[in-house]
Amino acid sequence: MATLLNMPAIVADATEAVLYTWFKAAGDSIRVGEPIAEIETEKATVEMEAEQDGILARLIASPGETVAVGAPIAVIAATGDAEKDIETVLASAGSSAAATTEQQDGAASEAVSDSVDLAAGDNVGRIYSSPLARRLAREHGLDVTALNGSGPGGRIIRKDVEAAIADELSTVQTAASAEGPASATPPAPAPTPDAAGPGIETVPFTRMRQAIARRLTESKTTVPHFYLTVDVRMDELLALRKQVNSTAARKITVNDLIVRAIGLALRDEPDANVGFNGDSMLRYDRADISVAIATDGGLITPVVRGVDRTSVTGISATIAEFAARAQAGRIRPDELVGGSFTVSNLGMFGTKEFAAILNPPQSGILAVGAAEPRPVILDAELAIATMMTCTLSADHRVVDGAVAARLMAAFKQRMENPLSLLI
């Protein structure tokens, strides 16, 4: 039996998402678990998998279209379903005349329409319009209820809005021609502050970049950050890593050991493994560490679960898989939520030290710099050691200074005694 495929709630509290691209065309067969579309969320571009076998009978949403969570994006038909079965399903979504294909001038993307109340005297009617038509009208300052709809039942569709835009432009041009040449050259308009000049390209934010900008601004302006910095001597850890990698099937990285060390440090200092929850505190019983990964679209932070209970090789395998799938846009939504702490490592870029911004409701993020030779005093003598600077950003609403200091001391102790990371 034909059914509607709706836009899923990719992340918590999301109200809409962008259908980035379809992997299948209308009429293609699909199987359970097979990727059929990419959906762009505020955090990543993720694959949407088929939840049933069948045929992708209709594509309602077009690539690049913003769709409300729960709104239909396609029709899935079973083998043997008749055209009328598909029509019935489409009609149940609000438009029985939407049984068109994606190629028919994008009409399939407008198949599901919403209505707008229109008061006229004592009578109240309903004007139906597609989401795309309403968006175009809003962007061009048009009242969608004042337009004449050419769609089934008088529904206002995209071409109606485009026609109104063209008419308005034609009217302006005609009026300008009727006025004749100006007697004097009008002054050039003053440049607006956000106007791009020569050699400057305006690049619209992706949804991910919008989310990053919003969340980090909110975090930095509303969360009382404070910072603690420690220098970690890395010589023993690097020597141990070299020894392990000489025989290990999977090569571990310094970052793998850092993630393991902070996970164990959070177990050593459980009062730091907390989150802010309005008028209460979230206390975590395990260390779920969000690992910052840079992608072309922005920074994402998939979560390595139970770091304090996972071997270094297990952590290494998980992070490597995340990194590969992140670059391909294949991180699942559930892998981006639930972390209790974040590690952000810029050491591979040669950054000596930096301070990171918290990711609420987490109360801690560790900013890791490069490991480099530095002069140090050892046993009252000047020597050279490999040192790494790490800075903790903490939320003072739930983490006191002494707690943060003990956490960083525990982290330093683990890093400088690396055998403890393998136990």
Tell me the DSSP string of 201-246. ---PPPHHHHHHHHHHHHHHHHS-EEEEEEEEE-HHHHHHHHHHHT
Nearest Cα neighbor of 362 from 329, 400, 395 is 395
Residues 377-416: tens digit of each pLDDT: 988 999 999 999 999 999 999 999 999 999 999 999 999 9
Task: Say what the pLDDT of residue 402 is.
Answer: 98
CA distance 159 to 187: 36
Task: Say what the pLDDT of residue 129 is.
Answer: 66
Task: Say what the pLDDT of residue 132 is.
Answer: 60
* CB of 286 closer than 8 Å to CB of 303: no
Instruction: Tell me which fold the domain 209-422 belongs to.
Output: Chloramphenicol Acetyltransferase (3.30.559)
What Cα–Cα distance (Å) separates residue 204 from each residue in 39, 195, 208, 297, 305? 18, 13, 11, 12, 34
Give the pair of three-digit tokens for residue 129: 């319009």
Helices 235-245 and 401-416, packing angle to 10 deg: 50
pTM of the complete model? 0.63
CA distance 82 to 84: 5
Q: In residues, how long is the chain? A: 423
Task: Say what the pLDDT of residue 82 is.
Answer: 77
Task: Say what the pLDDT of residue 365 is.
Answer: 97
* CB of 308 closer than 8 Å to CB of 294: no
Longest dimension (CA), the chain: 93
Half-sphere exposure of 362 (CA within 13 A, CB side): 27
CA distance 166 to 143: 15
Which residues of the chain fall below pLDDT 70?
10-14, 42-45, 93-133, 135-136, 139-140, 151-155, 158, 166, 168-196
CA distance 352 to 390: 9
Q: Locate all alpha helices (DSSP H) within 59-181, ordered by sequence.
A: 83-92, 131-139, 158-178
Of 138, 220, 396, 397, which one is the catalytic site residue?
Answer: 396
Task: Say what the pLDDT of residue 42 is.
Answer: 65
Half-sphere exposure of 368 (CA within 13 A, CB side): 23
* CB of 77 closer than 8 Å to CB of 54: yes
Task: Say what the pLDDT of residue 330 is.
Answer: 80
Domain assignments of the chain as residue spans, ordered by start: 3-110, 114-173, 209-422
Strands 289-291 and 341-345: parallel
Nearest Cα neighbor of 241 from 258, 229, 225, 226 is 258
Would 3-110 and 209-422 be classified into the same CATH topology? no
CATH superfamily of 114-173: E3-binding domain (4.10.320.10)
Residues 340-370: tens digit of each pLDDT: 999 999 999 999 999 999 998 999 999 999 9
What Cα–Cα distance (Å) separates residue 412 from each residue in 85, 248, 341? 65, 25, 17
* CB of 193 closer than 8 Å to CB of 351: no
CA distance 55 to 65: 22
396 included as an active-site residue: yes
Task: Please determine, looking at this structure, whether the domain spanning 3-110 carries the CATH number 2.40.50.100.
Answer: yes
Q: Residues with Cβ < 8 Å from 112, sequence gap 6 or more?
A: 60, 71, 72, 93, 94, 95, 98, 130, 131
Count CB atoms within 10 A of the CB of residue 389. 20
